[in-house]
Structure 1
Amino acid sequence: MSPEPPTAPGADIVVVMGVSGVGKSTIAKGISTLMGWTFAEGDAFHPQANIDKMSNGIPLTDEDRWPWLALIADWMREEVQAGNNAVVTCSALRRRYRDVLRDADPAVRFLHLAASEDLVGDRLSHRQGHYMPTSLLHSQYDTLEPLDDDELAAGSVVCSVEGSAAQVLARAMDALRLTPPADDEEGHRA
């Protein structure tokens, strides 16, 4: 049995991480809906120059990522200061990227959605309307650094994306030890 994940006083922040196409947005939105938490799409923080590079099949460099990560960290910091529980998507593929996000709140937890490159490649080949081409997937797997032991000990978790979105969401909620709040007599979240 793993230790209880730490939480910030008055706020819980979860970063749903992983390679493009693994289902970060779907699972993060599911957590947000079930828990009544604030949701943010990490891709929305990308400057247009980053989007243009990825759209053209050019992998981002660390220099491209630092301002993007700083914007996400600033958003998380504002949510913590406001006492809001929140969930945000962000690839967070390297430990040093996660460290930038952790600077917003040391108690931030990461939910790493994990899958084989073949599975994600198949999903990406069927996805429409996203700027991230399938051709960049291999570079993401090359960049990916799994969660370190100290990150796992601090409450971050790894969750397989095998199965349906509902199954993955249930596994993620269980792994994060999140229980949706009960509805009151009028159907409002308590």
Structure 2
Amino acid sequence: MAAKFDTSRAKARHQLQGDGAPILITMKVPHIWIPLEVLALDGQQVQADIYLLTDTAVNTSDVGAKVGQSAVGNDVPGASGMKLTFQEKMNPLLFHDLSTDRNMGWVRPDSWLTYLSLDTPSTTVTYDMGISSTGIIRLAHFGTPPMAVVDGQSTQELPSWLPTLPMGTPQFTQTLAFLLGLVGILFLAYRARVRLLARR
């Protein structure tokens, strides 16, 4: 992959040295691969916003993905300064905006949008990142072939026969347990009151 920088176009846009230039790279690969090594410039702080569109929710751990635990707010294990900051299922407005944009016809209406933030010294960014087919973030040292970032770590994944619960299951279970507990307390209080009145 190579990128060409048009200096005359940059001048017309009043871009200076060091100004960011967003780029759209479309690659057909079995799973997402992000070469974070290109961000690690010697002696500089790496500050990056990483947006992902995926078929499934992205997670930071196999267990979290299996039980449907949201990874929002979690640090990415092994990636100092990287956090999964935001994630939600594609809404109709965003789908329309993205899918009607140039070269974006591949966007699916049931996709997940995930935002990862990275803020760390360049010396700690010693890895590239991949996303497994089950939505798990995987890291591998520089020089690892792109597909091996995920494929080379398949032994870490939980058995495929284990069911994957829907996103939000733990929160739903906690809420349900709280409500059932509350109903139980109210029921016991009601029974105690009925017994007390019956004795009179």
| Structure 1 and Structure 2 fold alike (TM over 0.5) | no
Q: Could you state the TM-score of these two structures normalised by the residue count of structure 2?
A: 0.24
| Structure (1 or 2) with the larger CA radius of gyration | 2
Q: Which has the higher strand share?
A: 2
Q: Could you state the TM-score of these two structures normalised by the residue count of structure 1?
A: 0.25
Q: Which has the higher helix share?
A: 1
Larger relative contact order (Cα-Cα within 8 Å, sequence gap ≥ 6): 1
